[in-house]
Chain A
């Protein structure tokens, strides 16, 4: 995985620089000007962490603010505002001791009350937070979100200024990971009240407690700057003095700017990535999203496992990711993405993979297809294939259509590529035969994917059902929640059931090709949740 290599390199350089500094050769590896010029492909829509929904907002919040923890390399939990965490024996109560030297940019201290205020604000239905569902599991959160209980009943209490107690109403094995996600960061009540409806709509209408402060953002412009926060508790470890962000929506433009030295990083289109595949500056950022075929199992033909298996077996996924997509995306091993979670060095995606579920075997496919058609009592099948209208989605549907029609006799595929919102609406109402859709993890745990296919999940649009699967997912949340290995095994088994039955047919794991100047070191990229953490980044000579 390229990202790992890159991050490892960063760590090695970082370590060696620490060593060299220790040896007294002070300015050996860092450049005198610690300014990073970073490309963004979209605007920054908001800095209100309760209402943010997009990658740019979450990334900016993550670098300008801080919660109980920060997520380091490979989503490792690193110290944030919490200096000590105590978990009760039953795993239902967390007590955090907070540091006393964390400050807001308006001069106030960050206290436990800021967390209480922030969390209550987010789950309050009046705030209309689109990420409030992540609070589900914290005591009373669901009832508050549904308007059945008062926000003050939320399972979070401040005991004095520096002790925070969180109670859960079900076990959340990934609870600590969530704390690294900006929705769980504290908010300064004074600032929220003072700025009112303007809160978070421009850099001056916001306060910061993280490694950087946001400046030069007007709320709708295409550039902004993160300036090192001189009040940050760990400022001695923040090396960059500023990060200049520029929004360039055209990768041609950002690549030109990169070549001219105005940018230190740029996204690449699939075409550019293919041309630059040998570049040493090419860094492929693997996303935590998987794309797959989802079958509408309210229809008789897709209830037939042989039909589903046949369709999956005719798709040559390697050819698809290399020749058609070409942007660094890889063949999906299963539902949960590679690099998401590890146990004893084994990646979940490997542990829970089922080779035949993503393999190509056309002879076998033809047999299964014939068998399936016979079981259905038909000689041909009309397949309605649905997906988005982006270039990538159009390429995907065209490829899948040709693979099915060329290899399965009697199959006729009609394709509809519609705008994302229309695709969602049709998925929800069951107006499709097969839909190519994707799912991205909110945090680095396989459950973020696997929850989706339980029978009672309202977003399980294909309505695939399996009692064994449901039981395993339930066990992972209850009886086995506290036992890492047992829980892991439950989830591994569950994914295998899903894949063996072809409840979905995984296609690819999404990736973004980027170019990063080799002098830029220590960029932390995590696929799930927040992507970028620049706290440790620096510019080498």
Chain B
């Protein structure tokens, strides 16, 4: 197991290095400068600014300097937010995004499992059809449409929750629902399909013959086996949600990281682009590793390494 983990960690570091390298050079191919008032600056002024920021150095040298800084934990200073260290911009904003993403994921997966199981147990009845219709709607209605509707009817008209902003738990309810409906629908669909297969298998027949309760069969035997395809999905999904959903964050005015990333690209804010890309990539490689470990826990048949260490 240790040998396996070491090997995996080595590949993770290699992946991150490749991501950093490719992103850096691709980013430098984008036209323009990181200066927001570029339009009004003369070429000489831009030249002087480039010298100040070291942007006139050869790209390979800039790359080495950046890499050196990153190894020392220095992600550089943002251009959009002058003097603001990128590490501060990320750390002050990632909290809200992570909380929202995690809540949405938990909400979506838990409710999705319940709905999916319910549909599978009652397959081919009106309950199943209803659950299927609900999950199709959940999957096909874009989350920003749902967000706007929730905001208008639940927050403005009924006044049950705040319209926007970020404060206590009540502020998180509507964005969580809006963001969680996608994973909810996806989970419900996966669980239903998986469970219908499992419920038809011989060992479930056996469990029934043994006289186990319906709940016991579903919970202990059917659910566990239908979770495997879902785990593959949940990992990357969680990272995507936690690192920010720009649209939902904008609609509910949440101080998250989603828009910062998009804005950093359109404004050529090089250090921020790199910082957020590295954060996202690191999150992803860690989650992929965790997913593989979780596989083994859910299903011992999936071995992490050949020797079963």
A binds B: yes
Contact A133 B253 (CB under 8 A): no
Contacts A249-B253, A256-B163; A424 near B38 (Cβ below 8 A): yes
The A interface, classified by DSSP as helix, strand, loop or mixed, is: loop
Instruction: Find A146's partner among B30, B44, B165 (CB 8 Å cutoff).
Output: B44
- Interface flag for B118 (CB, 8 Å): no
Contact B36 A54 (CB under 8 A): yes
Nearest-Cβ distance from residue A2 to partner chain B, whole angstroms: 27
Chain B hits for A421, CB < 8 A: 30-33, 38, 266-268
Which residues of chain A in 457-486 are interfacial with respect to chain B, using CB atoms and an 8 Å cutoff? 458-459
Instruction: Find A125's partner among B52, B151, B252, B254 (CB 8 Å cutoff).
Output: B52
Chain A hits for B254, CB < 8 A: 222
Encoded as 1 (CB less than 8 Å from any B CB) or 0, chain A from 30 to 52 comes to: 00000000000001011010011
Q: Can you name the residue of chain A whose Cβ is closest to the Cβ of B156?
A: A256
Contact A133 B45 (CB under 8 A): yes
Q: Can you name the residue of chain A whose Cβ is closest to the Cβ of B51?
A: A125
Chain A hits for B163, CB < 8 A: 253, 256-257, 260, 262
Chain B hits for A458, CB < 8 A: 42-44
Q: Can you name the residue of chain B whose Cβ is closest to the Cβ of A221?
A: B255
Chain B hits for A11, CB < 8 A: none
Which residues of chain B in 62-118 are interfacial with respect to chain A, using CB atoms and an 8 Å cutoff? 80-84, 88-89, 92-93
- Interface flag for B292 (CB, 8 Å): no
**Of B44, B82, B92, which is in contact with the most chain A CB atoms at under 10 Å from its CB?**
B82
- Interface flag for B132 (CB, 8 Å): no
Contact B39 A424 (CB under 8 A): yes
Chain A hits for B268, CB < 8 A: 421
CA distance A202 to B268 in the complex (A): 23
Q: Can you name the residue of chain B whose Cβ is closest to the Cβ of A223?
A: B165
Which residues of chain A in 393-450 are interfacial with respect to chain B, using CB atoms and an 8 Å cutoff? 419-422, 424-426, 428, 442
CA distance A459 to B39 in the complex (A): 8
Contact B45 A145 (CB under 8 A): yes
Contact A256 B151 (CB under 8 A): yes
CA distance A220 to B94 in the complex (A): 11
- Interface flag for A198 (CB, 8 Å): yes
CA distance A131 to B254 in the complex (A): 31
- Interface flag for B196 (CB, 8 Å): no
Write 30 A-B pairs (CB below 8 A) sorted by A numbering. A48-B83, A53-B36, A128-B53, A130-B35, A130-B37, A130-B38, A130-B49, A133-B42, A133-B45, A197-B83, A198-B83, A200-B82, A201-B83, A218-B92, A219-B81, A219-B84, A220-B88, A220-B93, A221-B92, A222-B255, A249-B259, A252-B151, A252-B251, A253-B164, A256-B155, A257-B163, A259-B156, A260-B163, A420-B32, A428-B43
Q: A128-B52, A249-B250 are in contact. List 20 more A-B contacts (CB 8 A).
A: A130-B37, A130-B40, A147-B48, A198-B83, A200-B82, A201-B83, A220-B84, A220-B88, A220-B89, A222-B165, A260-B156, A420-B32, A420-B266, A421-B30, A421-B33, A421-B267, A426-B31, A428-B43, A442-B40, A458-B42
**Nearest 4 pairs between A and B by C-beta?**
A421-B32, A425-B31, A130-B37, A51-B82
Seen from chain A, the residues whose Cβ lies within 8 Å of a Cβ on chain B are 43, 45-46, 48, 51-54, 125-126, 128, 130-133, 145-147, 197-201, 218-223, 246-250, 252-253, 256-257, 259-260, 262, 419-422, 424-426, 428, 442, 458-459
